[in-house]
Protein backbone atom coordinates (compact mmCIF):
# COMPACT_ATOMS: atom_id res chain seq x y z
CA UNK A 1 0.00 0.00 0.00
CA UNK A 2 1.29 3.49 -0.82
CA UNK A 3 1.18 5.90 2.10
CA UNK A 4 0.98 9.62 1.48
CA UNK A 5 3.22 11.62 3.78
CA UNK A 6 0.88 14.01 5.66
CA UNK A 7 3.37 16.89 5.53
CA UNK A 8 3.94 17.93 1.89
CA UNK A 9 7.26 19.60 2.85
CA UNK A 10 8.69 16.27 3.96
CA UNK A 11 9.77 14.02 1.15
CA UNK A 12 11.99 11.17 0.15
CA UNK A 13 14.74 13.59 -0.95
CA UNK A 14 15.62 14.29 2.70
CA UNK A 15 17.56 11.83 4.86
CA UNK A 16 15.45 10.10 7.51
CA UNK A 17 16.42 10.82 11.11
CA UNK A 18 15.71 8.97 14.35
CA UNK A 19 15.28 11.29 17.35
CA UNK A 20 14.93 10.28 21.00
CA UNK A 21 12.77 12.47 23.26
CA UNK A 22 13.04 12.11 27.04
CA UNK A 23 10.82 13.93 29.52
CA UNK A 24 12.33 13.76 33.01
CA UNK A 25 9.85 14.70 35.72
CA UNK A 26 8.86 12.96 38.96
CA UNK A 27 5.41 14.50 38.84
CA UNK A 28 4.58 13.98 35.16
CA UNK A 29 5.92 10.40 35.20
CA UNK A 30 3.82 9.52 38.27
CA UNK A 31 0.64 11.11 36.88
CA UNK A 32 0.44 14.15 39.22
CA UNK A 33 0.11 16.28 36.08
CA UNK A 34 -0.04 15.50 32.39
CA UNK A 35 3.33 15.55 30.67
CA UNK A 36 3.70 18.52 28.34
CA UNK A 37 7.38 17.97 27.67
CA UNK A 38 7.14 15.26 25.00
CA UNK A 39 4.30 16.96 23.05
CA UNK A 40 6.20 20.30 23.12
CA UNK A 41 9.40 18.68 21.84
CA UNK A 42 7.55 16.86 19.05
CA UNK A 43 5.53 19.92 18.06
CA UNK A 44 8.64 22.10 17.74
CA UNK A 45 10.68 19.50 15.82
CA UNK A 46 7.77 18.78 13.45
CA UNK A 47 7.70 22.47 12.56
CA UNK A 48 11.47 22.91 12.36
CA UNK A 49 12.66 19.85 10.44
CA UNK A 50 12.00 19.01 6.78
CA UNK A 51 13.42 15.49 7.14
CA UNK A 52 11.15 12.52 7.80
CA UNK A 53 11.51 11.93 11.55
CA UNK A 54 11.00 8.80 13.63
CA UNK A 55 10.58 9.58 17.33
CA UNK A 56 11.26 7.26 20.26
CA UNK A 57 9.85 8.73 23.47
CA UNK A 58 10.41 8.09 27.18
CA UNK A 59 8.75 9.66 30.26
CA UNK A 60 10.84 8.90 33.35
CA UNK A 61 11.43 10.10 36.96
CA UNK A 62 14.40 12.15 38.19
CA UNK A 63 16.61 9.15 39.00
CA UNK A 64 20.22 9.38 37.82
CA UNK A 65 20.65 5.68 36.97
CA UNK A 66 17.31 5.56 35.13
CA UNK A 67 18.17 8.64 33.08
CA UNK A 68 21.62 7.30 32.15
CA UNK A 69 20.18 3.88 31.31
CA UNK A 70 17.49 5.48 29.11
CA UNK A 71 20.07 7.57 27.24
CA UNK A 72 22.31 4.52 26.66
CA UNK A 73 19.34 2.53 25.37
CA UNK A 74 18.21 5.30 22.99
CA UNK A 75 21.70 5.67 21.51
CA UNK A 76 23.16 2.15 21.65
CA UNK A 77 20.05 0.01 21.05
CA UNK A 78 17.48 2.24 19.32
CA UNK A 79 20.15 4.03 17.23
CA UNK A 80 18.98 7.62 17.76
CA UNK A 81 21.15 10.27 16.11
CA UNK A 82 19.82 13.13 18.24
CA UNK A 83 18.33 12.95 21.76
CA UNK A 84 16.62 15.89 23.47
CA UNK A 85 15.81 15.73 27.18
CA UNK A 86 13.57 18.11 29.11
CA UNK A 87 13.52 18.64 32.89
CA UNK A 88 15.69 18.03 35.90
CA UNK A 89 18.41 20.58 35.08
CA UNK A 90 17.97 22.91 38.08
CA UNK A 91 19.61 23.05 41.53
CA UNK A 92 16.96 21.09 43.51
CA UNK A 93 18.15 17.87 45.20
CA UNK A 94 16.23 15.66 42.73
CA UNK A 95 17.55 17.53 39.62
CA UNK A 96 20.24 15.19 38.24
CA UNK A 97 19.76 15.24 34.45
CA UNK A 98 23.15 16.91 33.73
CA UNK A 99 25.01 14.40 35.94
CA UNK A 100 23.30 11.45 34.20
CA UNK A 101 24.02 12.95 30.77
CA UNK A 102 27.70 13.39 31.61
CA UNK A 103 27.72 9.77 32.87
CA UNK A 104 27.09 8.58 29.29
CA UNK A 105 29.28 11.13 27.47
CA UNK A 106 32.18 10.42 25.14
CA UNK A 107 32.66 14.18 24.62
CA UNK A 108 31.31 17.31 26.29
CA UNK A 109 29.90 20.10 24.09
CA UNK A 110 29.97 23.05 26.56
CA UNK A 111 28.97 25.67 23.97
CA UNK A 112 25.38 24.43 23.93
CA UNK A 113 24.82 24.90 27.66
CA UNK A 114 26.55 28.27 27.70
CA UNK A 115 24.53 29.55 24.74
CA UNK A 116 21.19 28.19 25.99
CA UNK A 117 21.62 30.00 29.31
CA UNK A 118 22.53 33.21 27.44
CA UNK A 119 19.45 32.90 25.19
CA UNK A 120 17.20 32.05 28.13
CA UNK A 121 18.25 35.17 30.04
CA UNK A 122 16.26 37.09 27.43
CA UNK A 123 13.16 35.32 28.75
CA UNK A 124 13.72 34.74 32.49
CA UNK A 125 16.32 35.97 35.02
CA UNK A 126 16.33 32.46 36.52
CA UNK A 127 17.92 31.06 33.31
CA UNK A 128 21.22 30.77 35.19
CA UNK A 129 19.62 28.16 37.47
CA UNK A 130 19.64 25.61 34.64
CA UNK A 131 22.78 23.42 34.63
CA UNK A 132 21.83 21.96 31.21
CA UNK A 133 24.62 20.29 29.18
CA UNK A 134 25.09 18.72 25.76
CA UNK A 135 27.29 15.73 24.99
CA UNK A 136 28.24 13.35 22.21
CA UNK A 137 27.79 9.63 22.77
CA UNK A 138 29.02 7.52 19.83
CA UNK A 139 27.35 9.14 16.78
CA UNK A 140 24.56 10.86 18.72
CA UNK A 141 24.20 14.40 20.05
CA UNK A 142 22.34 14.61 23.40
CA UNK A 143 21.04 18.01 24.54
CA UNK A 144 19.38 18.87 27.89
CA UNK A 145 16.55 21.43 27.90
CA UNK A 146 14.86 22.86 31.02
CA UNK A 147 11.55 21.42 32.27
CA UNK A 148 9.29 24.39 31.59
CA UNK A 149 7.60 23.38 28.31
CA UNK A 150 7.97 26.94 26.90
CA UNK A 151 11.74 26.78 27.36
CA UNK A 152 11.96 24.17 24.60
CA UNK A 153 10.97 26.63 21.91
CA UNK A 154 12.83 29.50 23.57
CA UNK A 155 16.22 27.77 23.60
CA UNK A 156 15.96 25.90 20.29
CA UNK A 157 14.42 28.74 18.24
CA UNK A 158 15.93 31.82 19.94
CA UNK A 159 14.65 35.33 20.53
CA UNK A 160 12.38 37.29 18.17
CA UNK A 161 11.45 40.97 18.17
CA UNK A 162 7.85 42.24 18.06
CA UNK A 163 7.77 41.82 14.26
CA UNK A 164 8.90 38.19 14.52
CA UNK A 165 12.46 38.77 13.27
CA UNK A 166 15.14 36.69 15.01
CA UNK A 167 17.39 38.84 17.25
CA UNK A 168 19.30 36.01 18.97
CA UNK A 169 19.63 32.70 17.14
CA UNK A 170 18.49 29.52 18.88
CA UNK A 171 20.95 26.69 19.46
CA UNK A 172 19.20 24.44 16.96
CA UNK A 173 20.95 26.48 14.22
CA UNK A 174 24.15 24.58 15.09
CA UNK A 175 22.60 21.11 15.45
CA UNK A 176 22.53 19.98 11.77
CA UNK A 177 26.24 20.72 11.20
CA UNK A 178 27.16 19.07 14.50
CA UNK A 179 25.31 15.94 13.34
CA UNK A 180 27.12 16.10 9.96
CA UNK A 181 30.44 16.14 11.82
CA UNK A 182 29.64 13.02 13.85
CA UNK A 183 28.50 11.07 10.78
CA UNK A 184 24.71 11.43 11.06
CA UNK A 185 22.01 12.27 8.49
CA UNK A 186 21.93 15.63 6.68
CA UNK A 187 19.29 17.62 8.59
CA UNK A 188 17.41 20.40 6.80
CA UNK A 189 15.39 22.93 8.74
CA UNK A 190 12.62 25.35 7.82
CA UNK A 191 14.35 28.78 7.87
CA UNK A 192 11.09 30.39 9.04
CA UNK A 193 11.43 28.39 12.29
CA UNK A 194 15.21 28.11 12.72
CA UNK A 195 17.74 28.56 9.91
CA UNK A 196 20.48 25.93 10.10
CA UNK A 197 24.02 27.26 9.66
CA UNK A 198 26.73 25.31 7.86
CA UNK A 199 30.03 26.50 6.40
CA UNK A 200 29.70 26.83 2.59
CA UNK A 201 32.01 23.86 2.05
CA UNK A 202 29.60 21.64 4.02
CA UNK A 203 26.44 22.60 2.11
CA UNK A 204 24.86 19.79 0.10
CA UNK A 205 23.92 20.91 -3.43
CA UNK A 206 20.14 21.51 -3.85
CA UNK A 207 18.43 18.57 -5.55
Ligand X SMILES: Nc1ncnc2c1ncn2[C@@H]1O[C@H](COP(=O)(O)OP(=O)(O)OP(=O)(O)O)[C@@H](O)[C@H]1O
Ligand Y SMILES: Nc1nc2c(c(=O)[nH]1)N[C@H]1C(S)=C(S)[C@@H](COP(=O)(O)O)O[C@H]1N2
Residues of the shown chain interacting with ligand Y in the complex, contacts defined by CB under 6 A: 87-90, 95, 120, 123-124, 126-127, 129-130, 146-148, 150-151, 154-155
- Helices 149-157, 37-48: axis angle to 10 degrees equals 30
Q: Binding partner of residue 154 among ligand X, ligand Y, none, CB under 5 to 8 Å per kind?
A: ligand Y
Looking at beta carbons only, is 29 or 151 nearer to ligand Y?
A: 151
Q: For residue 136, what are the CA distances in angstroms to 64, 75, 101? A: 18, 10, 10
Q: How far is the CB of 133 from ligand X (least distance, A)?
A: 15
Binding positions for ligand X, 102-161, rule CB under 6 A: 147-149
What is the spatial distance between Cα 138 and Cα 183, in angstroms, rounded to a whole number? 10
Q: Does 98 bind ligand X (CB under 6 A)?
A: no
**Coil, helix or strand for 176?**
helix
Looking at beta carbons only, is 17 or 45 nearer to ligand Y?
A: 45
**Which contiguous run of DSSP H or E holds residue 175?**
helix 175-181
Q: Binding partner of residue 120 among ligand X, ligand Y, none, CB under 5 to 8 Å per kind?
A: ligand Y
What is the spatial distance between Cα 45 and Cα 137, in angstroms, rounded to a whole number? 21
DSSP letters spanning 148-167: SHHHHHHHHHEEE-TTS-EE
Q: How far is the CB of 153 from ligand Y (least distance, A)?
A: 8
Q: Binding partner of residue 129 among ligand Y, ligand X, none, CB under 5 to 8 Å per kind?
A: ligand Y
Using CB under 6 A, list all residues that contact ligand X: 23, 25-28, 33, 35-37, 62, 87-88, 90, 94-95, 147-149
Amino acid sequence: MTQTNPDPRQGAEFDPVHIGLVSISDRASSGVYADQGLPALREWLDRALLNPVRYTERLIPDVRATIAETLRELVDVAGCQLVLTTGGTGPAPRDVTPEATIDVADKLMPGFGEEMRRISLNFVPTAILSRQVAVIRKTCLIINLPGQPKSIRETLEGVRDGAGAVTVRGVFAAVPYCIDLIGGPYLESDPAVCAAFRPKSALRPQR
